Structure 1
Amino acid sequence: MNNSISFSTQNRKTIITKMEQELFDVIVIGGGITGSGIALDAISRGLNVALIERKDFASGTSSRSGKLIHGGLKYLQNFDFPVVKETGSEREIVYNNALHLVYPIKMNFPLIKNESYNLLTLKAGLTLYDRLAGVKKEERHRIYGKKKTLQNEPLFNPNTVKGSGVYVEYRTDDSRLTMEVAKTAAEKGAQVLNYAEMTEFLKNEENIVKGIVVKDHIESKTFTIYGKHIVNAAGPWVDVVRKKDRPVTGKYMVLAKGIHIVFNRKSLPVNSSIYFQHKGRMIAVIPIGNRTYVGSTESTYKEDMDDIHVNLTEVHYLLGCLKDMFPNLTLSVSDVISSWAGIRPLIGQEGKSPAELSRHDEIFESDTGLITIAGGKLTGYRKMAERVMQYIEKKEKKDVTPSKTDTIKLSGSQFNNQQELESYAEKLTGYYHDIHLDKEDILNLVYRYGSNTDLVLQSISSYKQLESKEDMAILGELRYTVEHEMVTSLVDFYDRRTSYLLFEPQKVTSSLDLVSDELAKLLSWTPEKKQEEKRQLYYAISKTHSFK
């Protein structure tokens, strides 16, 4: 277990000094899953790596996905077999390397009257999917007739559901997965920094990019980083970065917006995860603990990329889909306890609609040598990183070598199987009995922090003088995330490190004063800074449940 505080907010000055002093082999712009994956791949090849992120890790698309490590079933409809094969095998690798964050779930795919799948095409599709994705024998799909389907899920509409297929998918915490990839890169020696924005490129006499000017948003200072290769992995913002180098020509980003809404599980008490077609569009219904979330919509987005709202029309659209699928439920806007909206970058070409655009990732290079990777999906982050690094190897006229990250367990995932994870939680429950957290509390922490939970519990123990175990637990989590996960704001903590903002909004409001007081102490905030932080968090809360 790594006990260093290299991935700590309190270590920013040291990281910046190293960034200023060293010449890097690779500089990565963007701390989402793509950029973090590239940093990990590059450092595992023995290269000197720096990564900067304008806001927080995963603060863009990588914390606003459907939180599924997809096997790519929907790509079968387009006969996109290579994508299904790659995402299927990648899914298994991501699962093995992040056992505490990636969970297999049974996905129920109902056959619905007048939709594109029938019993024959679903059977053929799932059989092909199992083969291409290399699904283990015990996890292969099952097909059920109407009677058994309605027994499995009594909420289904008996007038439209004709049968179903059940197969295995994987659910994840997308923002924590991204953060653990970035953290693993840092633990292996990469210099990684959030709240550090690239403001301009530095070029040599031949007009080739050789470095970047960076603004540190915490100290409001600028510094420079120099490197041999600069990779733009800014997700939906890649064109914003490209424009600082050259006017964007040829292919460009088209932004597709998706939303998800969250209910109490009692309001939407499905028996398992469900993936259903509604007028040709795919809708996921995913239970998680005492919540169920539903998504996604897809529409072209041209508004403020840094302030994306869920629209009331989008909520009504999803409620309509749910009404058709589960006619006995009466769900309304007031039942939505939280929501999120995100944008994904699709690679645009003149004359094509968003539905026709490629979901594949592509690499572009400008005449100044700036390498940009765009498109892609959460599941394929490792292969995207490998393609970028192989592109650089070709550019340097070196032999192309495969990625080593398929065998690198992420920070917190020092487990070989589920049993090891559960026995670790049991051992911690006995060892930390004096802080009065029960086994379920500790297991929940292990499913968030994995094999780093020992350090979290040490932090919690430091607040033993508090009477409330809830107060003790949340302050311990907070301290751990500041010291080991680069938390610099209330939103970092409540949204991306813990997901309390999305799934336990009540916990956010009840603990806010306590947490903001403690974070102000840990980070030496002025009273004005603390008020501004609280204002930003209140705004984030309001966005989750007030719809435009």
Structure 2
Amino acid sequence: MPTALSLQNRSDALDRMSSQVLDVLVIGGGVTGAGAALDAASRGLTAGLLEQRDWASGTSSRASKLVHGGLRYLEMLDFALVREALHERGLLVGRLAPHLVHPVPFLYPIRHRLWERVYIGAGIALYDTLGGLLGRVGGRGVPLHRHLSKRSLRRVAPSLREDAAIGAIRYWDAKVDDARLVQVLVRTAVGHGALAASRTQVTGYLEEDGRVAGVRAVDLETGRELTIRARHVVGATGVWTDHTQELFRAQGLTVRASKGVHIAVPRSAIAGEDGFILRTEKSVLFIIPWPTHWVIGTTDTPWDLAKDHPVASSADVDYLLEHANAVLQRPLTRDDVLGVYTGLRPLLQPVDDGSGSTTKVSREHTVATVRPGLTVIAGGKYTTYRVMARDVVDMALADRAPGEDPAAPVPASLTEELPLVGADGYQVRWNRKAHLAAAHGWTETRVEHLLDRYGSLVDEVLALVDADPDLGRPLEGAPDYLRAEVVYAVTAEGALHLEDVLTRRTRLSYEQADRGTASARAAAQLMAGPLGWDDAQLEREVSSYLARVEAERAAEVMPDDSSAEAARLQAPEIRPFADAS
């Protein structure tokens, strides 16, 4: 597996990063950082990527899991942002990641017969127009919108309250398995020569003649101290941008954090196949369909506490339930909530208007070379990660290092034409899903689940099952996942700890009522062999995960952010961080 993020490949990557001068070193393993590493590597540059936690462990796995143009930005007249995002949506659905990004219908309930249909209808028609030619790649895209009468709405959305709408507009966007997309970006970058290592903390920087010339770092898995030299360092650390700049003794961009909370409820709790987009007093609320559950979110409130473990409070959960219940016949209760996850949006600091609101801040990104040798990026949307990655690499390369030819052309970005691993051959395997199901004694639903997680990389998962048929059984406590998927997460997808598997390689931490605790020991036992754990380490992994779930549950009944954070911090880090200087 040339793109495998195995334990050995991680060790080799750190050795190689320490023994050469990289063209570009990217700090931050979220979607933008992973995209930047791929952009640099595909230009033929020697690229490194470091992440101090797991891939996508921050904002990039904790948002609404949508690839969309940002319908609400049309009201802000931010046409350029919407047009750019819809173009990227088309690329992801049609070429770059069709196995991970899928069209999904949404209903926009209409309450007023005339003006709202005209006003909202015109906006969604513009949305379709902007996404039309730009949003269709290789004949693939999303369908156009249409208006629904009250009778038609009742047919497609039987869970909607009678008084909730007199009709609706049905339009399409796309949903994404966000954490998996990031890990696939890292794997694609590695396949093009990038060197990548998670759980590696940057603790300082190297300087030559006033220019940043690399970093000091610590491998948190072994305690090994590293010196990594690079001509250009890129900071793609999202809500940690201020911290990154402080570490490098630089000033430039100022980022504020906005907390977004999502809850998951069972698929059976809401009838129908379409999602909903609902107006709130602050922004919009999405109710998004997934095969086994619905995701409902999001909140949008300032977060001024530590950024490592943002959590939901009781008020956040109540807010989401209240706004969903405003349109649902059968009210959702706390008992319906399977799981909760919380992320922080990195928003560029606006001019203070005295309100403290984060809801009107534009999501456009900004790139700045904040000191020679260090370029940072902040803001933006998940959907436009590829553009952000291209822009930050372009600016970093424009900041010429000593010895670089100032007249040498900068290689152009290739990522618009570069499918991610798993994309090529995905449709062929989808067409053969009945044969794959029959060959392994599975339902087609099982095979669809695998294809929508791995694409053509499903061949590698099936090879594990063929070699050990016991891995073809469902994971204990998680009937929707195979035991092979846990092994594959360790041997190919860079998972180093139990929480990596149960939270990001799978979604058990929020899509099941037990939050993955029933699967914890079985998953840890499957991980132990490939990762070389002894019995003591296995027990630490299980107890650490159980403590995390307990702390998150405790936080969710606290009345405010401060008390919720205090409850969450009762669970310690699986690996302590090093002192930075």
TM over 0.5: yes
Alignment of 1:395-414 (within 5 A): 395-396=399-400, 397=406, 399=409, 402-414=412-424
Q: CA deviation at 1:390?
A: 2.1
Alignment of 1:195-206 (within 5 A): 195-204=199-208, 206=209
1:448-506 deviation digits (Å, cap 9, x = unpaired)? 11111111122123332589554597432122121111111111111111112222355
Q: CA deviation at 1:443?
A: 2.1
Further displaced range: 353-362 or 14-23: 353-362
Corresponding position of 1:99:
98
Corresponding position of 1:366:
370
Mapped to 2, the partners of 1:543 and 1:439 lie a distance apart of 38
Further displaced range: 146-155 or 62-71: 146-155
Q: Say if 2:491 and 2:530, in contact at 8 Å, map to a contact too.
A: no
Quickly say closer, same or farther: Cα 1:123–1:98, change in 2 above 3 A.
same
1:222 corresponds to 2:225: yes
Q: Say if 1:340 and 1:544, in contact at 8 Å, map to a contact too.
A: no
Mapped to 2, the partners of 1:459 and 1:315 lie a distance apart of 40
Q: CA deviation at 1:50?
A: 0.3
Number of matched residues? 537
Mapped to 1, the partners of 2:338 and 2:4 lie a distance apart of 37
Further displaced range: 255-264 or 12-21: 12-21
1:331 corresponds to 2:332: yes
Mapped to 1, the partners of 2:35 and 2:472 lie a distance apart of 42
Quickly say closer, same or farther: Cα 1:127–1:232, change in 2 above 3 A.
same
The one of 59, 62, 67 equivalent to 2:57 is: 59
Corresponding position of 1:475:
483
Q: Say if 2:109 and 2:167, in contact at 8 Å, map to a contact too.
A: yes
Corresponding position of 2:564:
none
Q: Say if 1:437 and 1:469, in contact at 8 Å, map to a contact too.
A: no
1:463 corresponds to 2:468: yes
Mapped to 1, the partners of 2:397 and 2:3 lie a distance apart of 32
Q: Say if 2:250 and 2:370, in contact at 8 Å, map to a contact too.
A: no
Q: Say if 1:505 and 1:541, in contact at 8 Å, map to a contact too.
A: no
Q: CA deviation at 1:38?
A: 0.5
Quickly say closer, same or farther: Cα 1:42–1:5, change in 2 above 3 A.
closer
Corresponding position of 1:449:
454
Q: Secondary structure at the match of 1:200?
A: strand
Corresponding position of 1:4:
2
Q: Say if 1:338 and 1:544, in contact at 8 Å, map to a contact too.
A: no
Alignment of 1:185-196 (within 5 A): 185-196=189-200
1:51-108 deviation digits (Å, cap 9, x = unpaired)? 0001010000000010000122111010000011100111010112111111111111
Q: Provide TM-score, normalisation by structure 2.
A: 0.87
Q: Say if 2:28 and 2:50, in contact at 8 Å, map to a contact too.
A: yes
Corresponding position of 2:245:
242
Alignment of 1:3-402 (within 5 A): 3-4=1-2, 6-95=4-93, 96-112=95-111, 118-134=116-132, 135=135, 139-204=143-208, 206-246=209-249, 248=251, 251-326=253-328, 328-352=329-353, 353=356, 354-396=358-400, 397=406, 399=409, 402=412
Mapped to 2, the partners of 1:117 and 1:89 lie a distance apart of 30
Mapped to 2, the partners of 1:467 and 1:185 lie a distance apart of 29
Mapped to 1, the partners of 2:60 and 2:528 lie a distance apart of 27
- Aligned-residue CA RMSD (Å): 2.4
Q: CA deviation at 1:175?
A: 0.2
Which amino acid is 2:344 matched to?
I
User: Which sections of structure 1, spanning at least 5 residues, go unmatched?
Assistant: none
Q: Secondary structure at the match of 1:118?
A: helix
Mapped to 2, the partners of 1:193 and 1:455 lie a distance apart of 22
The one of 496, 499, 506 equivalent to 2:504 is: 496
Which amino acid is 1:180 matched to?
V
1:181-236 deviation digits (Å, cap 9, x = unpaired)? 111000111001100111101101x2110010111011111111111110000111
Q: Say if 2:55 and 2:198, in contact at 8 Å, map to a contact too.
A: yes
Mapped to 2, the partners of 1:526 and 1:160 lie a distance apart of 57
Which amino acid is 1:482 matched to?
V
Q: CA deviation at 1:543?
A: 5.2
Q: Provide TM-score, normalisation by structure 1.
A: 0.92
The one of 416, 436, 444 equivalent to 1:439 is: 444
Q: Say if 1:460 and 1:477, in contact at 8 Å, map to a contact too.
A: no
Quickly say closer, same or farther: Cα 1:124–1:285, change in 2 above 3 A.
same
- Percentage identity across paired residues of the two chains: 29
Q: Say if 1:99 and 1:415, in contact at 8 Å, map to a contact too.
A: no
Further displaced range: 5-14 or 314-323: 5-14
Which amino acid is 1:415 matched to?
G
Mapped to 2, the partners of 1:255 and 1:202 lie a distance apart of 29
Mapped to 2, the partners of 1:427 and 1:484 lie a distance apart of 25
Quickly say closer, same or farther: Cα 1:117–1:494, change in 2 above 3 A.
farther
Mapped to 1, the partners of 2:466 and 2:426 lie a distance apart of 28
Q: CA deviation at 1:303?
A: 1.5
Q: Say if 1:68 and 1:170, in contact at 8 Å, map to a contact too.
A: yes
